[in-house]
Amino acid sequence: MQINEADIKKQHAAKFSIISNSGLILLKVAVGMLTLSVSIIAEAIHSGIDLIAAFIANYSVKKSGEPADSKHPFGHGRVEDISALIEGILILFAAYLILHEAYDKFVTGIELTKPGVGVFIMLLSSVSNWLISGYLFRVSKETGSAALEADAWHLRTDVYTSLGVFAGLSVIALNEFLGGPKWVRRFDPAIAALTALMIVKAGWDISKTAVMNLADLKISDNEELAVKQAIEENSDRYVEFHELRTRRAGPFKYIDLHLVVSRDLHVDTAHKLTDHLEEDIKAKLPHTDVMIHLEPCEGNCQACHIKCPTHAHDGDLK
């Protein structure tokens, strides 16, 4: 099985995400146990969900890159949309766990030890996840990977939650140093709850996009415009086109349309025309499968009288 450059990029990014998430989880668990900070423990839970998501993304980008077979004649692109949906649900589940733990600690109270260590780890986590998520976003855009994009959003939300925990622990550490009131310690579960609410939107957006793709949502307006431009650039070679339909499956795009040509057009020339249009569309939109249904014109319209002489020359098509 031949693996193209895009698949190699996706697989490398997915593996890198797994390694980075594993390291951050170990740090957060260790520091959370040391400081007794619920917000750091919540962050460890969040990173644990990220790690599961990274494993899912790693599997899905490998599977989606497999060629079509007898059971999957349109390929395996849907695997990435299913992966993105699972990751979105995991984000929402992580938010629930964090909110539950934060509420419990806010009501019962908490004793923190060495909050300064937690401040350093949260800052390190924020910077690391910002850089890694930026890398994943870049690769997902280059390859059209829904799974990597979902994984990147996991880490990007982790950046914001880590910054929230960093801010809360900084206030607590300063208060402890100055001998301030103990109620300030409730900032820890409060910050954990607020950051959990922040990640709910990301989980919802990822899940919604995945569901829409699974429901055969059309490609974006800009992508559809590119398809129309590619066809219209060759308007002197056909009569008209209609019933343009598009859909997306993971990183792949599927396009079909009806193309009306002169009824006198030789089948070989018509075949060259459709091949030419397919190549032009794929040049504008990589990872695209194009299906063109040819229809003969009625033969008595003004457009046909104008275009038939042009169609008669096979040399017009390269």
How many Cβ atoms sit within 10 Å of the Cβ of residue 184? Answer: 16
Cβ(22)–Cβ(51) below 8 Å: yes
Spatial separation of the C-alpha atoms in residues 125 and 112, rounded to whole Å: 20
The answer regarding whether domain 5-214 maps to CATH 2.40.128.20 reads no
For residue 117, what are the contacts with CB-CB under 8 A and spacing of at least 6?
31, 34, 35
Q: Which among 86, 19, 97 has a CA at the least distance from the CA of 51?
A: 19
- The beta-strand segments (E) located in the chain are 240-249, 252-261, 288-296
Tens digits of pLDDT across the chain (318 residues): 445 677 788 778 888 888 887 888 888 888 888 887 777 877 787 777 777 777 777 777 677 767 767 776 666 667 777 777 887 888 788 788 778 777 777 776 666 777 788 888 888 888 988 999 899 999 888 887 777 887 788 788 778 878 877 887 888 888 877 887 777 777 777 777 877 787 787 788 878 878 877 777 788 889 899 999 999 998 888 888 999 998 887 667 889 999 998 888 888 888 999 999 999 999 988 888 899 999 888 766 655 544 554 444 444 554
Spatial separation of the C-alpha atoms in residues 72 and 196, rounded to whole Å: 39
Relative to beta strand 252-261, strand 288-296 is parallel
Q: Which fold has domain 221-316?
A: Alpha-Beta Plaits (3.30.70)
Domain with CATH 3.30.70.1350 in the chain: 221-316
Is 284 in a helix, a strand, or coil?
helix
pLDDT tens-digit profile of 8-46?
Answer: 887 788 888 888 878 888 888 888 888 877 778 777 877
pLDDT tens-digit profile of 153-163?
Answer: 878 877 887 88
Domain with CATH 1.20.1510.10 in the chain: 5-214
Q: On the CB side of 58, how many CA atoms lie within 13 Å of its CA?
A: 15
